[in-house]
Structure 1
Amino acid sequence: MSDATCGVAHGDAAEPVTDRVLVAVFASPVAAALLRLGVECGFTAVLVEPGDREVDGLPPGTTRLGAVPAEPHADVVVCDHHRPELGEVLRDALATDTRWIGLMGNPRHEGPHVAALAALGVPPEEVARVHRPIGLDIGSRAPVEIAISTLAGLLADRNGRSGGFLHG
């Protein structure tokens, strides 16, 4: 096919992007869907689950770690903003050379990460590096929809796109 985009739609896959790492923090239904879809989109999948909690249903090839890796090609998505370890995990992630950190949550309320990080002495300019809300505004109502929204935003960024439809 002469049109590369049309060829992809018909199964002629583009060269895979192999340097990006998708890090889902805290096991949850959203994290499971995000990692499963991320693998299909060419990301290396990592689940960060502190402690020794049992985790089921990880996609094949997913690596489980206890802390966010110091990985410059990583997109870190915190999938639960109610966990007591939230502040420590984010503080440690901010201390790495990770390229992007995002936290799910309602944009109409200040995220609990702000107070948690302030209590740990993290300066406001570092707290501001945590993106919230994340993903495209598609009206997500289920864990897989949240994962799709989040992954769509990360794919747009990875591919140098804005993530919105072109109007005209």
Structure 2
Amino acid sequence: MLGTAADLHRWCAAGRPFAVATVVAVSGSAPRPPGAALAVDADGTAVGSVSGGCVEADVYLLCQEVLAAGEGAPPLLRRYGYSDDDAFAVGLTCGGELDVLVQRVDPAARPELAAAFAAFAAGEVAALTRVVAGPAGLLGRALLVRPDLRCEGGLGDARLDAAAAERTRALLAAGRTGTFVIGADGSHCGEPLTLLAESHAAPPRLLVFGACDFAAALVPAASLLGYRVTVCDARPAFTTPRRFPGADEVVVDRPDRYLGAEAAAGRLDARTAVCVLTHDARFDVPVLARALRLPLGYVGAMGSRRTHADRTARLRAAGVPAAALARLRSPIGLDLGARTPQETALSITAEILACRTGAPGTPLTGASAPIHAPGGEPRSPAADRACPHGVLP
């Protein structure tokens, strides 16, 4: 529901009841991931989407049905898939399946949902966890979880709340939306209960070292992917906000010193990407030696294959272990035939995205594997091959 939070917050503030349909599970090539939502108010106004068009009309009618049932109406859970028997049946033409939970929201009766929409609309770090499968009496119950484990709402049992909050906090720390299963009493046994946690985390960071034309093209490209972008270079004449108007931060400092300070302050994590575009061994070797020892999601460096070989030798001489060197993406980017700064920015962001999702970065034409990973999860085996990361010595 993150994409519709601003509208839902306004509806709650006005005291308007509405119904919200949320994708809670997907399989195959379903068009939208878990958390995608369509909301409809009593006037028939609709915001959001659950499928990009395939089943919107039927889900809209379900929302109206739940609204017409009045306050306290139980949630509905509906599965949509592809039907070969009836070309006009409501279903997904892509061949996938998705489960949609439709529930009525009366703002005064669901303060935890109103608080979640307000938090998401304000950009706060928080996660909303709801019961999406299990005993009928628990379906749709919600818990708003903050990073410090402060919670609002409840799932019906203190042990269940505590277990759900711990699992939710782990997803929130990773900036992920996803489902998990626990026992209905909060244990790992007993009747299974499936919960969907929707995380609104701080945006991931991209640190671009090197105030060059390629960096200027990379800033807006990375911003489109939702990254908070910092450009850092030791040369004040080139490192100015005027040259990088789309950057969130422009910093004049030695790259290795700035990276070390950010790591010490706890402002880097496994979602952070680092792109070194300096073309100068005096700057790129020290910052890469530090970056490759941090648990970052992506570390790439620009340069020719000859530059890469020279840089690798220098990093080895600086004591960077082989396991750390294996994480370096150099020459940076996917092979798209890029030449201009703009084309190169596309190549770099494509590789960052592939590394983040675990996709191989190969053409979809002629491939037989599913386009979307099950449940929207990263493709773990490929992810391990494509971008191994972890705390290194």
RMSD value over aligned CA atoms?
Answer: 2.9
1:1-168 correspondence runs (5 A)? 3-4=51-52, 19-50=203-234, 52-56=236-240, 57-65=243-251, 66=253, 67-68=258-259, 69-70=262-263, 71-72=268-269, 73-107=271-305, 110-168=308-366
Instruction: Supply the distance in 2 between the matched residues of 1:139 and 1:43 (Cα, whole angstroms).
Output: 24
Is the radius of gyration larger for structure 1 or structure 2? Answer: 2
SS at match of 1:122: coil
Which range moved further: 40-49 or 80-89?
80-89
TM-score of the superposed pair, with normalisation by structure 1: 0.78
- In the other structure, the counterpart of 2:386 is none
Write the letter of the residue equivalent to 2:52.
Answer: A
SS at match of 1:35: helix
CA-to-aligned-CA distance 1:75-125 (integer Å, 9 cap, x gap): 111113334212111112223332221112234664332122123222233
Write the letter of the residue equivalent to 2:244.
Answer: L
Instruction: Supply the distance in 2 between the matched residues of 1:137 and 1:109 (Cα, whole angstroms).
Output: 17
Give the Å deviation of 1:136.
Answer: 1.7
- In the other structure, the counterpart of 2:118 is none
Give the Å deviation of 1:164.
Answer: 2.3
* Residues 18, 145 of structure 1: alpha-carbon distance in 2 compared, 3 angstrom cutoff: farther
SS at match of 2:282: coil
- In the other structure, the counterpart of 1:11 is none
Instruction: Supply the distance in 1 between the matched residues of 2:203 and 2:293 (Cα, whole angstroms).
Output: 21
Which range moved further: 106-115 or 130-139?
106-115
On the 8 A contact 2:211/2:238 being kept in 1, the answer is no
Give the Å deviation of 1:167.
Answer: 2.1
Which range moved further: 140-149 or 100-109?
100-109
Unaligned runs of 5+ in 2: 1-48, 55-199, 367-393
Give the Å deviation of 1:52.
Answer: 4.2
On the 8 A contact 1:28/1:79 being kept in 2, the answer is yes
Write the letter of the residue equivalent to 1:24.
Answer: V
Structure 1 or 2: more strand by fraction: 2
CA-to-aligned-CA distance 1:4-50 (integer Å, 9 cap, x gap): 399xxxxxxxxx98532111111111111111211122111011213
Which range moved further: 139-148 or 65-74?
65-74
SS at match of 1:4: coil
- In the other structure, the counterpart of 1:13 is none
On the 8 A contact 1:23/1:46 being kept in 2, the answer is yes
Unaligned runs of 5+ in 1: 7-15
TM-score of the superposed pair, with normalisation by structure 2: 0.37
* Residues 117, 59 of structure 1: alpha-carbon distance in 2 compared, 3 angstrom cutoff: same
CA-to-aligned-CA distance 1:55-74 (integer Å, 9 cap, x gap): 13113342134322331121
Write the letter of the residue equivalent to 1:79.
Answer: L
* Residues 119, 63 of structure 1: alpha-carbon distance in 2 compared, 3 angstrom cutoff: same
Instruction: Supply the distance in 2 between the matched residues of 1:91 and 1:103 (Cα, whole angstroms).
Output: 12
Instruction: Supply the distance in 2 between the matched residues of 1:42 and 1:101 (Cα, whole angstroms).
Output: 18
SS at match of 2:278: coil
Give the Å deviation of 1:162.
Answer: 2.7
* Residues 155, 105 of structure 1: alpha-carbon distance in 2 compared, 3 angstrom cutoff: same
Instruction: Supply the distance in 2 between the matched residues of 1:121 and 1:160 (Cα, whole angstroms).
Output: 29
Relative contact order (C-alpha < 8 Å, sep 6+): which is higher? 1
